[in-house]
Structure 1
Amino acid sequence: MAFHVRGTVLPDGDCRDLWILGDRITFERPGAECVTLAEGGFLLPGLVDVHTHPGAVGDASTPPGFDAGLFAEQIDAHRDAGTAALRFPGLTGQVPDEVRNAPGAPRMITAGRWLAWAGLSRSAEFHTVTDELAAAAVKEALANDGWCKIMGDWDFDAPPVPYEVMRAVVEAVHAVGGRVAAHCQSADGVLQAARAGIDSIEHGMGMPEECVGLMAASGAAYVPTLTAFAGSRAEVAARGTARAALWLSGHDTMIRRVREAHDAGVTVLAGTDSAPFGNVASEVEHLVAAGLPADAAVGAASWAARDFLGLPGLVEGGLADLTVYEEDPRRSPGVLRHPRRVVVRGHVVR
């Protein structure tokens, strides 16, 4: 049994017929019996959220933990919204095999545990604190899907991980074929990460202007997670403290850097960070509001993200992840919230 879909294939923009055979797509009509899923509309490679932490539980008064049942529910929310691939830059627990391997489950790229250098001023309980950051990073990259996640900083007013330590991590992980994501929420933290050649900078609050050129030169991606920060802005502003003012200034700066990074050739990607899950369309809208061209913002949650993670799009022999929309999301990004059809790993989700 094969599935047939006809529509405008993005990002190329050609109207074509494609067929889904198992977990692959083809543009050549197969001999098998075919069922047509959609005729007309716009075909988008399955959405991607490159920064999400499903399954996390706990708050300021409760030690953080991992709930496997909650993880499964939040993965389903991603999938039902058309998100066909997820990157987890830091999890507090192991991905359950039965969820990861379930039919129609989003493709999952893990980076293991959050890793924090022992020299940081303080670390939340969910960080794995170590003096041997490079060795720990290599271990996580090899044990997961080629990625590890380190904390480039933690406090706004404390020194970040030194350049020499960050560079040692990057060199060690790259030597085993892995990549490094870095949490950065201070200007100095972002600068040291960019100088060290980190593969993706998460958040980037207060990013100094010179980082844009450094990231473009090294091929680093920028994942600003604007959705999460936008949800916190009003609460932070209400505090009226000097630390809140620093936060607000950093937030304004990171928004400006989105368009600047794009214009310089940096790959800007969509990641939501936190609840609600299955909400990468919101991140696309925030990227557009920050000045990213609509086609680039949609690509940040689709074809550009898939390319960065090594996942083929809608090409001959590509992975059978696609969503169908009534309108062109490059012209109307809000349509991402309303997929007509969702196919993940060749399974019809909607």
Structure 2
Amino acid sequence: MKVEYQNAQVFDGHKFVKQNFTVENGIFTAVGTNNQSADQTVDLTGYYVTPGLINAHTHITLAADPHYWDNKEQNAVTKTVLAIQNLKESLTVGVTFVRDVGSTEDVDLNLMKLHLSDLPGIVASGSALSMTGGHGAKGGLEVDGVDEARKGARTVLKKGAKNVKVMATGGVATPGETPYDVQLSEDEIRAAVVEAHHKGFPTAAHAQGTEGIKNAVRAGIDSVEHAIFMDDEAVKLMKQYGTVVVPTLVAPRAIYENPEELPYFMVKKARLVAKPHFASIQKLVQNGVPIAMGTDSGCPYDDFSHWVVNEMKMYQDAGMTPEQVLNSSTMVAAKLLRVEDRVGAVKENLAADFVVLKNNPLDNLSAFEQEIAVYHNGRQLVNRLEKAGD
């Protein structure tokens, strides 16, 4: 069936432009033209349309609610149920595509392969690579030395991973380590990066401390996740190598704003990193380093809906224009994930992932939590609008 959406204000990467677009078999088949052969028309006069949002840093097998696993057994089945719940929650604020950067039980890999029509698309990483006893080692794949890092990357790629995640530093949520701790070395990271790039897939590094960030950038990593402690040399390296940063600004914020039932060490570290983290992202924005939206959803209290909108708002607070924020959440993220030939824009021959909004998000990003309809592959999966939709 050909459905023509008429008179919409469509975000083109710079501004909203009034135009029609047609969806056929889940694909944009005509954008900016009238379709005389449409089987159905939907009038979107007064509504705003953006591409579906992309969250480039999620953990779909983690529960933001610290009590979620109380009296529940953790296994592949229960974690899959949780992952599906998390993915459906993502849809409610317009997220139609995610990158999972560290799953357990290969849940993200298996869900990605199923291509379930009522869930967001997934770029899956499978197990993240960490040093023995390092950050994320409990649920990841422990590797030590260049040969093991190479084999670890090959192992997750063999299982079907479309992204390789490495742990370059310690972190906030793990006891006994700090964000400054250098973990996988530059040479170990490079070995994993080479293997992923051979297959045409991107790589991501959990890197919070300055030296670990530089190691990851020099190793050719595609995106640095978190980037809490930046200096001028790190910024210069990122610009030289074309590195993208996925800030996850809300991850520590969600912790320190909910201290009552979390371990003291975690809350203390979250409070300590918050200001330098924000200052680092401001520095990156000022220097034109590409930013892709990602939230670390699944970490404590960091849910898959409300905190997505908060993340985007914090980019604006850090100096990005509303247009840049929307691009970071669509086109920039799509390019990072190497799926720009599938999603990321309202453009002919791309998947019809789009969001219809009553209110202009360039005026207030809260529009994504208000009156909204969400389409994935042309199917309406969320509708909180009074009239739009089919």
User: Normalised by the size of structure 1, how large is the TM-score?
Assistant: 0.88
Separation in 2, partners of 1:235, 1:40: 38
Change beyond 3 A, Cα 1:172–1:273: same
Change beyond 3 A, Cα 1:263–1:145: farther
1:37 is displaced (CA, Å) by 5.4
Change beyond 3 A, Cα 1:139–1:257: same
1:91 is displaced (CA, Å) by 0.5
- Counterpart among 126, 137, 150 of residue 139 in structure 2: 126
1:242 is displaced (CA, Å) by 9.9
* Map of 1:276 onto structure 2: 303
Change beyond 3 A, Cα 1:317–1:173: closer
Separation in 2, partners of 1:336, 1:291: 20
User: Normalised by the size of structure 2, how large is the TM-score?
Assistant: 0.80
Q: Deviations over 1:308-339 (max 9, x none)?
A: 33233111222201111123212221212124
1:77 is displaced (CA, Å) by 0.9
1:75 is displaced (CA, Å) by 1.1
Q: Deviations over 1:256-282 (max 9, x none)?
A: 222322333321111121231123212
* Map of 1:143 onto structure 2: 159
Q: Which consecutive unaligned segments of at least 5 residues does structure 2 have?
A: 171-176, 384-390
The answer on whether the counterparts of 1:152 and 1:189 sit within 8 Å (CA) in structure 2 is yes
1:345 is displaced (CA, Å) by 0.8
* Map of 1:53 onto structure 2: 59
- How many residues are treated as equivalent by the alignment? 349
Q: Which consecutive unaligned segments of at least 5 residues does structure 1 have?
A: none
- Counterpart among 167, 178, 199 of residue 201 in structure 2: 178
The answer on whether the counterparts of 1:64 and 1:125 sit within 8 Å (CA) in structure 2 is no
Alignment of 1:253-292 (within 5 A): 253-274=276-297, 275-279=302-306, 280-292=308-320
- Counterpart among 81, 87, 90 of residue 102 in structure 2: 90
Q: Deviations over 1:120-161 (max 9, x none)?
A: 657541121123012211332353352111111223254332
SS in 2 for 1:329: coil
Q: Deviations over 1:162-195 (max 9, x none)?
A: 2222222222322332221111222222121122
CA RMSD of superposed structures (Å): 3.0
* Map of 2:386 onto structure 1: none
- Counterpart among 221, 224, 228 of residue 247 in structure 2: 224
Alignment of 1:1-350 (within 5 A): 1-5=1-5, 6-10=7-11, 11-12=13-14, 13-25=16-28, 26-27=30-31, 28=33, 29=35, 31-36=37-42, 38-56=44-62, 67-93=79-105, 94-95=107-108, 96-97=110-111, 100-118=114-132, 124-131=137-144, 132-154=148-170, 155-156=177-178, 158-234=181-257, 248-274=271-297, 275-279=302-306, 280-309=308-337, 310-311=339-340, 312=343, 313-349=345-381, 350=383
Which moved further from structure 2: 155-164 or 207-216? 155-164
SS in 2 for 1:259: helix
Change beyond 3 A, Cα 1:76–1:150: same
Separation in 1, partners of 2:181, 2:215: 13
Amino acid at match of 1:147: N
Separation in 2, partners of 1:100, 1:182: 26
The answer on whether the counterparts of 1:90 and 1:149 sit within 8 Å (CA) in structure 2 is yes
Amino acid at match of 1:278: S
